Amino acid sequence: MNKAQLVEAIADKLGGRQQAADAVDIVLDAIIRAVVAGERVSVTGFGSFEKVNRPARYARNPQTGERVRVKKTSVPRFRAGQGFKDLVAGTKKLPKNDVAVKKAPKGSLSGGTTTKKAAAKKATAKKTTAKKTTAKKTTARKATTKKATAKKTTAKKAPAKKTTAKKAPAKRASARKTTAKKATARRG
């Protein structure tokens, strides 16, 4: 479905093609302007649009195999909402005479936009969380290496015990042979 087909699909509900075209243009413009400004646009049941920053990186040219530097950039991202995912997957049925995406609950539309300050707070919160998880990972790695070295030392000790256990039956067998020889020597 392209934009013209979308306008035709909603023209009957809005009272005309021109009103539908204006509505589609206004909605798309509002979404684009908000995402460019760095805000997240969420539509309950449908999904969310957001701006994502990609860091600079190295890639490979598929034709030559040459390593190429790619500059940092920002891209738009759309994530489908759970209701939309359920409808596409078939776990929920699409209503025949009702709208697929229900209206948001009363009061949920008032505080949906985020400001740059709130976005900055979220970013710093993510950074501190990342630092904490990194610290946890390093302590976990240290503990794992300590356990691994402890297992290695106990594993080294274990074969020594096995060798002594193997030698003991051999001594018993030789002792039995000597007692058998002594017994035959006494008889004969």
- Residue carrying the six token digits 């080294």: 156
Nearest to 44 by CA among 81, 90, 87, 93: 81
pTM: 0.51
List the end-to-end C-alpha distance of the chain, in Å, as a whole number. 110
Place of tokens 């740059």: 116
pLDDT in tens, 50-72: 999 999 999 999 999 999 999 99
Model pLDDT for residues 120-171, shown as the tens digit of each residue:
555 555 555 555 555 555 555 655 555 555 555 555 554 554 444 454 555 5
- What stretches of the chain show up as alpha helix (H) in DSSP? 3-14, 17-36, 82-89, 116-187
What is the CATH code for 3-104?
4.10.520.10
**Per-domain residue ranges for the chain?**
3-104, 116-188
CA distances from 44 to 23, 56, 94, 114, 178 (A): 19, 33, 16, 16, 91
